[in-house]
Amino acid sequence: MDNKEISQAVIGRLPRYFRYLGELKDEGIERISSQELSDIMKVTASQIRQDFNNFGGFGQQGYGYKVEYLYEEIGRILGLEKTHDLIIIGAGNLGQALANYMNFERRGFLFRGIFDQNPELYGKKIRNMEVRPMEEMESFVKQNEIDIAVLTIPKAGAVKVAERLVDNGIKGIWNFAHVDLNVPKEIQVENVHLSDSLMKLAYNINRYESESIQTPGSSL
Amino acid sequence: MDNKEISQAVIGRLPRYFRYLGELKDEGIERISSQELSDIMKVTASQIRQDFNNFGGFGQQGYGYKVEYLYEEIGRILGLEKTHDLIIIGAGNLGQALANYMNFERRGFLFRGIFDQNPELYGKKIRNMEVRPMEEMESFVKQNEIDIAVLTIPKAGAVKVAERLVDNGIKGIWNFAHVDLNVPKEIQVENVHLSDSLMKLAYNINRYESESIQTPGSSL
């Protein structure tokens, strides 16, 4: 299986499939057709089949998919059987909110430490983990073989901090800073630009309103 | 201009263009070619031209684009000249983090209130706004004509709360709850599934490692 062929759009949909299949599994549902899955997830059945075909299809169409098998396969593709050591840079509200997402642990993301440059936060316990000074970040990453860093710091410092993390062996950065990082291509970056998604929401609200005015009662 | 033709993928890229153009504008840059913009934003110049053509192209190709004009046009398309009244449901770390994103105000998102069901939080000041009990949410939304609600509550309560918001005239929901809401199509929903994006990051890390092992030194 050559994952290089698989588009980021497909990859981006896998976690959602994983989430839904986990819920179906918890509900004790054993088999589901692409049509049933389509109805629940509100994506077309053909999209689901196309997405799954990237990974060999996951079993016969006619029979429908075995939920538990599909759940485990997608989890395996996502690499959730592996664990990742994760630190959070920035112990503000966002950093603390992320540290407290308990279910990250269930997905194999081990919260190993949290860092901040504000001395008032040093030693503060966040999820049984004391906030460490930024100065300790590099040695900590190296000594503990941390592979994922979560950036929840202002854009001003983010680019430099990212470089320091990369120099010390970080493999992936989950970036909440409002700036696009410039790191070597072998470093994986997943940007979460929260204000971008809020602007998209505003656009869709405005679009809907202007269309309702132009063509009253029109359905989108 | 028929926005109905414009894909959500294009819409989803507009805020990023807006962000970059704002920075170029702040740097005093007056004109930029699609190629220069492509280099900075790391998307192909043809993608940029295609995206902009959805909105009439924004000025001659040869000359390059007028940065300030483009910035303002995209801001207008995003509806950022309009203001939106926004409340946050859930005054935990994430709700507080979002309340403190000062720059939302600059984009026309007015933080009008924050609600929680935990009595210990009632009256707590978050950005000069006292946390209100959930019981007051419906009347508050109606009386203050709130159009956007930010959901930062556990998935268990989110679906019901969303219905209550819709019944009281909310137009859009920015959903951080780990559940897909089921609201009428005229209600705009922007889901932020944080764990999905972390799983995608893990996938890309694992993929890169397995490929490096299979074909040492291969470039992606």
- Tens digit of each residue's pLDDT, chain B (220 residues): 444 467 888 888 899 899 899 989 999 999 998 889 999 888 888 899 889 888 877 776 667 889 999 999 999 888 888 899 999 999 999 999 999 876 778 888 999 999 999 999 999 999 889 999 999 999 999 999 999 999 999 888 999 999 999 999 999 999 999 888 889 999 999 998 888 889 999 999 988 887 776 555 544 4
Cα distance between the two ends of chain A:
39
- Residues of chain A with Cβ-Cβ distance to B220 below 8 Å are 4, 185-186
Query: C-alpha angle A101/A107/A108, rounded to 5°?
Result: 105
* CA atoms of A55 and A77, how far apart (whole Å): 9
Q: Do B82 and A194 touch (CB under 8 A)?
A: no
Asked casually if ipTM beats, i.e. exceeds, 0.90, the reply is: no
B210: which 2 tokens? 């397995």
CB B131 within 8 A of CB B123: yes
The answer to whether residue A218 scores a pLDDT higher than 50 is no
The three-class DSSP label of residue A162 is helix
* pLDDT for residue A163: 96
Give the chain B residue whose CA is nearest to the CA of A173.
B201
Looking at chain A, which residue has its C-alpha nearest residue B103?
A195
Q: Would the CB atoms of B200 and A3 count as touching at under 8 Å? A: no
Reported in sequence order, the residue ranges of A48-108 that DSSP labels E, i.e. its strands, are 65-66, 84-89
Evaluate if residue A2 carries a pLDDT over 70. no
- Residue A135: CA count within 13 A, CB half-sphere: 4
Of B18, B189, B201, the CB nearest to A190: B201
Interatomic CA distance for residues B158 and B190, integer angstroms: 14
Give the pLDDT confidence of A47-102 residue by residue, as tens digits: 998 898 888 777 766 678 899 999 999 998 888 888 999 999 999 999 999 998 76
| Cβ-defined contact of A208 to B192 (cutoff 8 Å) | no
Predicted confidence band of residue A3 (pLDDT cuts 50, 70, 90): very low
Q: Count the residues in chain A.
A: 220
Report CA Rg, chain B: 21
- Average pLDDT along chain A: 88
Chain B: closest CA distance from residue A96 (Å): 6
Which chain A residue's Cα is nearest to B126?
Answer: A93
CB-based contact A7:B204 (threshold 8 Å): no
Per-residue pLDDT of A149-162, as tens digits, reads 999 998 889 999 99
A15–B107: do the CB atoms touch at under 8 Å?
A: no
Angstroms from B94 CA to nearest CA on chain A: 5
Chain B positions in Cβ-Cβ contact with residue A219 (cut-off 8 Å): 185
Encoded tokens for B21: 């153009």
Please list, in sequence order, all residues whose beta carbon lies within 8 angstroms of the beta carbon of residue B207, skipping any fewer than 6 positions away. Answer: A3, A4, A79
Q: How far is CA B40 from the centre of its chain?
A: 21
pTM of the model: 0.82
Q: Which two tokens stand for residue A57?
A: 């299809």
C-alpha A69/C-alpha A51 separation (Å) is: 16
